[in-house]
Amino acid sequence: MSKRSGSADLPLHGGRVPPWLSDRMTRLGALIAEAIVHHYGRDEFLRRLSHPFWFQSFGSVMGMDWHSSGITTSVIGALKRGLKPLSGELGLHVCGGRGAQSRKTPEELVDIGYRVGIDGTRLAGVSRLVAKVDSAAVQDGFDLYLHGFIVADDGKWVVVQQGMNDERRQARRYHWLSEGLENFLDSPHRAIEGRGQGNIINLADRRADRSRLGQLDILATLGPDGIAREASALAQSAEREAVVADQLVLPHLVMPAHHDVRAGDIVMKRLHGSLAAAADCGPKDYQDLLLVPGVGARTVKALAMVAEVVHGAPCRFSDPARFSLAHGGKDRHPFPVPLKVYDETIRVMKSAISKGKLGREEELAALKRLDIQSRQMEQYVTGPDLKEIIAGEFRDSEHFGGRSVFGWERR
């Protein structure tokens, strides 16, 4: 049976991802997906997408705003663009998106079904039902506006959808995974992200079975008019409050409203482990390790975090903000996106995966060793504090091709 894995606040952010970043997110996102499928298989990639902490870290390492609701839209969009030309090879297909794109999901699934030989009509029904559960059965004050459906050639799927609450300026993300899903109304969510807002009505919880059966019985017995009269009477009674209080309030991870990355947002020993492993491997001998000429020390730091996104265990993603230190953020938080570093990261990942497909695993193995070394070194290394690290990134930003939505960085 699917289990919830936590929740988190996602502050609503406006604006769009600029083309210079969305293009790179598309390429890096597809490369990370390829690496995970290569090492661990397609099912594992679906599991990763269903993990809310990993999903947020995935978006952060790609240079998106580390805590905002925009990560959901941008990650789904990047994967839809990046995995489309690889769908025949990886057997993965991304449908839906935001707004009008979400409403096209059923027809996209039917089309995929015809092409790969799975029951697209059934999957279209699943898409509609999942959306209905999170918009009607779970009444938590968030209106759905994004629906992403990722399906494999064997019919396994993951759904990531998001709702917003304009009044609170917050978003809530819902994760579903087909693996182990037996019933759409008995605690089906893999995870729901959003701050606990007090009591909610969650008719999709297994403990609400008696409530659902009771509602059907009341509808048959009283009819719509009778239900309206009873509801009016119950509104004045303590019984109604007790019924609502019985509904599930999910555990949650709070994503803060502040834009800047602070020490409290990061597990510093993990960050120091990544930096120490990068320093130990390069730049003097990293060329021999990765067999890719021209890789600089700063790129190695980014690669250490990308390697963790590929290889890290679920418990490693409790601090998504840490992964924003790989390639910064489009709004200059924690620092401008270093495009030269970003492009080198893409080049190294592309080289490693291309050679891995030919049976030459040296570079992919080197990235995995980098992640292992990071975890080993974090047990005992120390390093500069976060403010010093970020100050250094701003100082070198022009040299690394720093760019944000505000323009190019200049000294």
> How much is the pTM?
0.83
Query: Is 210 part of any domain?
Result: no
In a domain, 229, yes or no: no
Asked if 151 and 274 sit in the same domain, the reply is: no
The number of folded domains in the chain is: 2
Closest to 306 in 3D by CA, of 268, 264, 352: 352
pLDDT at 200: 41
Predicted confidence at residue 13, as pLDDT, reads: 79
Q: Are residues 183 and 286 in the same domain?
A: no
| 17 plus 98 within the same structural domain | yes
Q: Tell me which of 154, 182, 198 is where a domain ends.
A: 198
Regarding whether 304 and 172 lie in a shared domain, the answer is: no
Looking at 141, 163, 198, the residue that finishes a domain is: 198
168 and 269 housed in the same domain: no
At 202 the pLDDT is 46
54 and 139 inside one domain: yes
**In-domain check, residue 85:** yes
**40/351 Cα distance (integer angstroms):** 19
Helix/strand/coil for 265:
helix
Instruction: Please tell me the distance from the alpha carbon of residue 36 to that of residue 47, in angstroms, as a whole number.
Output: 11
The residues, ordered by sequence, that sit 6+ positions from 401 with a Cβ below 8 Å of its Cβ are: 338, 339, 340, 341, 408
Residue 160 near residue 178, CB atoms below 8 Å: no
Contact 174, 189 (CB under 8 A): yes
Residues 388 and 295 in one domain: yes
Inside any domain, residue 188: yes
> Residues 169, 282: one domain?
no
Residue 279 lies in a domain: yes
Is 208 domain-assigned? no
| pLDDT digits (tens), the chain, 411 positions | 333 344 556 888 777 899 999 999 999 999 999 999 999 999 999 999 988 889 999 999 999 989 889 999 999 999 999 999 999 999 999 999 999 999 999 999 999 999 999 999 999 998 998 888 777 655 568 889 999 999 999 999 999 999 998 888 889 888 888 887 665 445 544 555 555 554 444 444 554 455 444 444 544 555 555 544 554 454 444 333 433 333 334 435 568 888 899 999 999 999 999 999 888 865 445 555 565 666 788 999 999 999 999 999 888 898 999 999 999 999 999 999 999 999 999 999 999 999 999 999 988 998 998 899 899 999 899 999 999 999 999 999 999 999 999 999 987
Instruction: Mark whether 106 and 182 lie in a shared domain.
Output: yes
> Does 174 lie in the same domain as 48?
yes
Residue 270 lies in a domain: yes
Residue 219 has a pLDDT of 45
- pLDDT of res. 155: 96
The answer to the question of residue 1 being in a domain is: no
- The domain boundary residue, chosen from 198, 226, 246: 198
Q: Are residues 156 and 296 in the same domain?
A: no
Domain of 88 in residue numbering reads as 9-198
> Does residue 151 share a domain with residue 69?
yes
The pLDDT value given to residue 226: 53
Q: What is the pLDDT of residue 238?
A: 35
Q: Please state, in angstroms and rounded to a whole number, the distance separating the CA atoms of residues 47 and 176.
A: 10
